[in-house]
Structure 1
Amino acid sequence: MRKFLVSVGFVATSCFFVLPISAAEYEVEEGDSLWKIAQEHNTTVAELKEINKLDSDLIFPKQMLEIDREYKVKRGDTLSEIALEHDVTVSDLKEWNNLETDLIIIGEKLTIKVNKEQSEANKEEKAQEVNKAEETQEVSNTEETPEASEPEVEKQSNTSSKESSEQSGETISVTATAYTAKCDGCSGITATGINLLENPNMKVIAVDPSVIPLGTRVHVEGYGEAIAADTGGAIKGNKIDIHVPTKDEAYDWGVRSVDVTILD
């Protein structure tokens, strides 16, 4: 991803676009009814009453209603596990949260639109996702069989996971610059599909994948825990670029030598 970059002697800019973020709450307006609000937000009256602990259909102007539920991602979570736990599909989660990939970050808040009247098509999709996950697990359990042949893409994925595992706990010294997704006429999608304009406080670093594989969780001295989720033309070898919310913070960071510890 190209981006606003603060370094010694130069600044680079590029293009980002903004996608809307679903609100978790709704302020009741004059003339609203629970039925109308449920229709507009793709849910049911029963669900609105349950979420907001309402004993009747009576609502009043300026009352705040919780429309969506939020889930905070914790270590080890996957989209398929979260979908199964909340009786929704992975496709639902990606659509509601504008996710272009299955990558999720620890601490990230996911919007979950619970609908008890879920369609049979969604239920079937969920069942297929569970079956696919089980089949993947079975393949994983038989990976050591010498005769087993693996698709090229799967081999690359296993290699990346192996590299990350071997590096776990390792600390390397790097030169760190900073960038922000907020610049005029810019685009904020990282190399792994994360929209930084929608998630301005997300801890993301741009890396050279040959040094730190994409998707690796790291701890950066002076910055904290982050995900290696982006790349950059100037990021080669032992160099990283940390994402910060504003240009001022990028300027304040400047150029530093820091230690990066591979977490997983």
Structure 2
Amino acid sequence: MKKTMVSLVTAAALAGTFSLGSNASAAEVTVKKGDTLWDIAKANNITVDEIKEWNGLSNNVIHPQDQLKVALSERYKIEKGDTLWGISQNYDGVNFQKLAEWNEIPNPDLIYAGDEIVIYTAGNADAVETPVKEEAPAEEAPAEEKPAEEAPVEEEPAEEAPAEEASAEEAPAEEAPAEEKPAEEAPAEEEDNAGEPEVAQELTMSATAYTATCEGCSGITSTGINLLENPDMKVISVDPDVIPLGSKVWVEGYGEAIAGDTGGAIKGNRIDIFIPDKQDAIDFGVQEVQVKVYK
């Protein structure tokens, strides 16, 4: 029985004619603030290179609200005599239950010639969004400082007591509130600066990736971080003469990390990015990235 594959362009032209597959959910994720391609690839069990290829990306830069495909799909036009089971046999890792789920077919035994269905051939058809919990600590840090700044304000009643005792003298009573105003303005200025991390330097660097699971690797960084016990930590290896050890940094396509390791081959404007999965580290290759070093 001859099977006919229809291009996406043709499928778009015929979308008004066929019912099946028209409501199939697209395997896409919405980029959130702080997301990186590596985070999205890890959540969906695919590689960064696959995401870049499927979405036509030439680099690792993404923006909030971008829609990214995390699976590769094609459309199939049903012919007379076809069954979902028979169609699924032409694709590795695909069964008739998945075809019914992807295309919202209530009865897998009832399909119609001429309709089209979507078939996911690679990637994760059940798109997984990255968790948002990582952003919470960064936003809470300035909020925790406020009670400490408000403490002097509670002491104001103590300053007012002498003013009540000297009610007969008008001059001291007027001076007391005048002195209080600068004290109230000072915390406001500190709050404005607290939420803006200062950048000590911005660098363009050559980046490679490494893993802690290689043969003979201890998994302990030069600053004592155990990467085997903390695989989700973001750590980079640096030349301490360029980026001081222990510095908090931001790396394009990787996010915020700690400069917590060194390496014999890491000299000058070069960094090594920790990626827990060995194959992902190999796939990273060599990339030119922007690096911000915070004060």
State if a TM-score over 0.5 links the two structures.
Answer: no
Compute the TM-score of the two structures, normalised by the length of structure 2: 0.33
Structure with max Cα Rg: 2
Compute the TM-score of the two structures, normalised by the length of structure 1: 0.37
Decide which structure has greater helix share.
2
